[in-house]
């Protein structure tokens, strides 16, 4: 892998973000609004619920992690969409850039952009609503890592979908986190769901993360096996997404989609 070519992908995104308020503001505004909204909801719930139960680490912490996951996914897809919108595929893929280098560049871009959102959320949740990360313990790092990997996997898979079906398939991508959230158990235990939804939840890493989070807040601990399953699933999804993107790219080269990307009839 050539680090210069990976750096080119990251640098391009830096140039675009630095000079554009429409790209800078969304990095933190939507997640900040979410934290404020859920911060007040948790405060209200604390005031009306039985004494002793604190909704802040359960709900606000879960919202923070879920927003982080969606930011990671969108960090990958937004960087990819820049090439879609500027019709840059021919210039990119006629260069020595490899698919691995391109995807690595998108992932690094996502790490940077999602880190901005994460820092803003943490500062806001801690300073305004008193969210303490001590209550989660060191296991929080592992849970965040699993969400990060799954966010990358979904981001890469979403890019593959748009590469295959053309620019208008962008609208398939935006609702993906919303579609997954009922199965992920962000706000409620998975046991609340009917059996068929529980079966789907079992193969989604976020459901294990949020179950683990609730267990920790309740004074217990994350079951190592559950964490192991979540991590293994996340890795499988990352590998699967990269395989899918590579396969779609090869097909695109075969049928001429890269050369005529805006010609959606090819899809």
Partner 1 sequence: MTVLSVTGIRKVYNDVVAVDEVSFDVNAGEIVGLLGPNGAGKTTTINMILGVLEPTAGTIRIKGCDLVTHRRDALARTNFAAVYAPVPGNLTVAQNLRFFGLLYGVTRLAERIDTLIAQFDLDRFRNVKCGVLSSGEQTRVSLAKAMLNRPTLLLLDEPTASLDPATAREIRTSIRAFAGEGAGGVLWTSHNMYEVEEVCDRVLFLSHGRILLEGNPKTLPSEHGKDTLEELFITVAREPLTLEP
Instruction: Classify residue 263 as exposed, middle or buried by CB count within 10 Å of its CB (0-12, 13-18, 19+).
Output: exposed
Nearer to partner 1, 94 or 119 (CB): 94
Q: Please, what is the minimum distance in Å from the beta carbon of residue 102 to partner 1? A: 10
Give the footprint of partner 1 on residues 73-102 (CB under 8 A): 82, 86-98
12 binds partner 1 (CB under 8 A): yes
25 binds partner 1 (CB under 8 A): no
Nearer to partner 1, 111 or 258 (CB): 258
254 binds partner 1 (CB under 8 A): yes
In the block, tokens 């090439």 appear at 83
Looking at residue 57, the DSSP 8-state letter turns out to be I
Q: Please, what is the minimum distance in Å from the beta carbon of residue 255 to partner 1? A: 7
Report the residue from 8, 36, 112, 139 that binds partner 1 according to the rule CB under 8 A.
8
Q: Please, what is the minimum distance in Å from the beta carbon of residue 244 to partner 1? A: 19
Q: Please, what is the minimum distance in Å from the beta carbon of residue 30 to partner 1? A: 22
Segment contacting partner 1 (CB under 8 A): 4-12, 144-152, 187-195, 232-240? 4-12
Residues 193 and 201: beta-carbon distance below 8 Å: yes
Instruction: Classify residue 261 as exposed, middle or buried by CB count within 10 Å of its CB (0-12, 13-18, 19+).
Output: buried
Q: Which residues of 22-40 are buried (b: 16+ CB within 10 A; e: fewer)?
A: eeeeebbeebbebbeebbe
Segment contacting partner 1 (CB under 8 A): 43-51, 184-192, 232-240, 251-259? 251-259
Could you tell me the sign of the dihedral formed by the alpha carbons of 9, 10, 16, 19, in that order? negative
User: How far is 267 from 170, CA to CA, in rounded Å?
Assistant: 14
Helices (H) and strands (E) in the chain, counts: 13, 0
111 binds partner 1 (CB under 8 A): no
Give the number of residues in contact with partner 1, rule: CB under 8 A.
Answer: 30
Write out the H or E segment, with its range, that includes residue 252.
helix 224-255
Chain residues that interact with partner 1, rule: CB under 8 A:
2, 4-5, 7-8, 11-12, 15-16, 20, 82, 86-98, 253-256, 258-259
């Amino acid at each position: 892998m050539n680090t210069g070519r990976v750096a080119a992908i990251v640098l391009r995104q830096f140039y675009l973000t630095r000079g554009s308020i429409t790209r800078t503001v969304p990095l933190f505004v939507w997640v900040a609004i979410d934290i404020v909204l859920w911060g007040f909801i948790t405060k209200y719930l604390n005031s009306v619920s039985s004494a002793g139960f604190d909704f802040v680490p359960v709900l606000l912490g879960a919202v923070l992690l879920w927003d982080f996951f969606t930011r990671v996914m969108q960090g990958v897809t937004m960087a990819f969409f820049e090439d879609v919108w500027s019709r840059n595929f021919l210039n990119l893929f006629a260069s020595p850039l490899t698919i691995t280098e391109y995807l690595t560049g998108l992932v690094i871009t996502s790490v940077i952009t999602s880190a901005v959102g994460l820092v803003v959320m943490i500062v806001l949740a801690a300073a305004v609503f008193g969210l303490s990360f001590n209550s989660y313990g060191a296991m929080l790092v592992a849970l965040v890592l699993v969400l990060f990997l799954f966010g990358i996997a979904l981001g890469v898979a979403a890019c593959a979908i748009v590469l295959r079906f053309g620019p208008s398939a962008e609208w398939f991508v935006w609702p993906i986190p919303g579609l997954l959230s009922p199965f992920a158990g962000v706000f409620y235990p998975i046991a609340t769901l009917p059996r068929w939804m529980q079966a789907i939840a079992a193969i989604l890493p976020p459901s294990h993360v949020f179950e683990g989070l609730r267990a920790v807040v309740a004074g217990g601990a994350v079951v190592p096996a559950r964490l192991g399953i979540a991590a293994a699933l996340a890795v499988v999804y990352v590998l699967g997404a990269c395989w899918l993107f590579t396969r779609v790219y090869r097909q695109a080269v075969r049928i001429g989609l890269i050369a005529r990307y805006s010609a959606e009839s090819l899809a």
